[in-house]
Chains A and B, each alone.
Chain A
Amino acid sequence: MITTQNLTKKFDQITAVENLSLDIPEGEVFGFLGPNGAGKTTTVRMLTSLISPTKGNATVNGFQVGEHDIDIRRSVGLLTETPGMYDNLSAERNLEIYASLYEVEDVQGQVEKYLRFLGLWDRRLDVAATFSKGMKQKLAIARALLHEPKTLFLDEPTAGLDPEASRLVREFILEIKQQGRTIFICTHNLDEADRLCDRIGVFKTRLVVVDSPVNLRRQVFGRKVVFHLIQADQSLVDKIAGHPHVSEANLVENKIVATIEDPETHNPELIRILVGEGADVQFIGELRRSLEDVYLQLVKNA
């Protein structure tokens, strides 16, 4: 569980994070989206008690940032932007060191559990320098999970990985999501955020908006329904546009694209209107905007 109130971080004259107020309940996967230099990593560093806020409050897993820093670090896992493994040491030794530092009781058991879980058990004695980028990233994820943290911070978990490795990491995140942990993901990968996150916060020094991916699309672009007709004309568009729950309707070739409030309720009535006007409806569907469109629109306006 993460709560922040007016969390602010300044470096000399530069404000990296300004008045960030968030409430992330237990078990939620929260995506933190923003352009480079938006302050995402600074936020994660504050929430993991690596750096202290200039102003404002934050609690993580019930512990106050700045007061219970050791408790926070004990209760969270952090995947940093770069894996930062000890390249001269074996995968197993790397994890043993961190398990000891995280005060894990059954060091060997936890190390084996996560090496097996991530498919690295057979390579446990190999030095990390021989690992591919994807394998190092998996090892770094294992490191973040060794002490079974309640909250996991993942800073760009798939940055620089090839599609196969990215997919493996995403599948792994979905698996740990099932375990009910709170996951805070900083990412540029909008497709990833769309697939993994319950809610998304768009951030550019200040928090622009927070909502579920579906609601963000609705907020920014509304819900658009496309009516595919054999033959469409402007009179049919006018009929649809005249409906009290339709805010906008346009003719695009033989399709009518309408912005409709609550399409599940009003679509049947609109279809009846079209049919009543003699239109031949082939099929209808919702026009899905990509999260990228939503993000770019929001960041542009921020």
Chain B
Amino acid sequence: MNKINTIIRKEWSEVFKNRMVLFTTAFLPLILTAIPLGIIYATSRSGDFSGITGDLPQEFNAFCPENFSGGDCFQVFIVSQFMIMFMIIPLAIPAAISSYSIVGEKVNRSLEPLLATPITTTELLVGKSLSAIIPALIATWAGFTIFIIGSWFMIANPVVIGNFLDTRWLIAIFIIGPLMALSAVSFSIIVSSRVNDPRVAEQVSMIIILPVLAVFFGQMAGIIILNVTFMLVSALLLGLVDAGLVYLSIHLFQRETIITRWK
């Protein structure tokens, strides 16, 4: 545990000196929290939405109880469209950190002395993974908390806020978020075993954001409705994908392969 701690602290003291990583970790959550808050602010001051429920996708009516006004429904709908953007945070931050932390070691040629210490591969991988996952989860959860607090001040109907804290978003933030962060780290480790430039690693690792964007545009187009079933199925699928990615990343992160083939 002590060695895992050392790796985490080492990673943080090193990677956060990299501007790209710092930018991704600090500004991305702020921007992605500000967008839904901005929408709430704008919609709460816009005109009359009383007749809008008929224009919303039919499947969405399940999130729009009878006691909601047209304006409340519209707010819930439009904010839900952007809430999925929160899920970019647990993907982008680990991808940025781990692609730098692993390829950075390659570039520095510091992996060999590191592997020469009595650290096990598991300790090293867990340390590196946690150093990328923890900031991502802190940023996601902090962003979500800021969003809820901000909404509290801007939304007149507290039931609407309750809608943002319903089961599907709690599953998304507290179950899918960590699973996504694990996917991002595992994917970055796999990418890192094939490239030598941290910038290339980071750019390639960012491909992992594409499924979230697909869901975002899918729901915008009314093809996907983010209900509890969708979230649970997504969590299950992500769990399976993670198992595969973790297996692959561990398989590729063999000491001998790293020492002799990672050029």
Contacts and interface: CB of A to CB of B under 8 A. Distances in A.
A102 interface: yes
B3 A73 contact: no
Interface stretch (A77-85, A203-211, A218-226, A247-255): A77-85
Contacts, number: 75
B108 interface: yes
Interface residues on B, range: 20 to 34
B2 A100 contact: yes
Give chain B's interface secondary structure class. Answer: helix
A50 B116 contact: yes
Given A84-B108, A101-B3, A89 B14 contact: yes
Interface string B1-40: 0110011011001100110000000000000000000000
B97 to A, nearest CB: 14
A103 interface: yes
A101 B1 CA distance: 11
B168 to A, nearest CB: 41
B51 interface: no
Nearest to A87: B108
Q: Interface residue tally of chain A, by bracket? A: 20 to 34
Given A73-B118, A98-B117, A50 B6 contact: no
Interface string A117-152: 000000000000000000000001001000000000
Nearest to A71: B118
B105 to A, nearest CB: 8
18 contacts: A11-B260, A50-B112, A50-B255, A50-B256, A51-B260, A70-B120, A71-B118, A73-B116, A80-B116, A86-B110, A87-B108, A93-B13, A97-B9, A97-B10, A101-B3, A101-B114, A101-B117, A103-B118
Interface of B: 2-3, 6-7, 9-10, 13-14, 17-18, 108-120, 255-256, 259-260
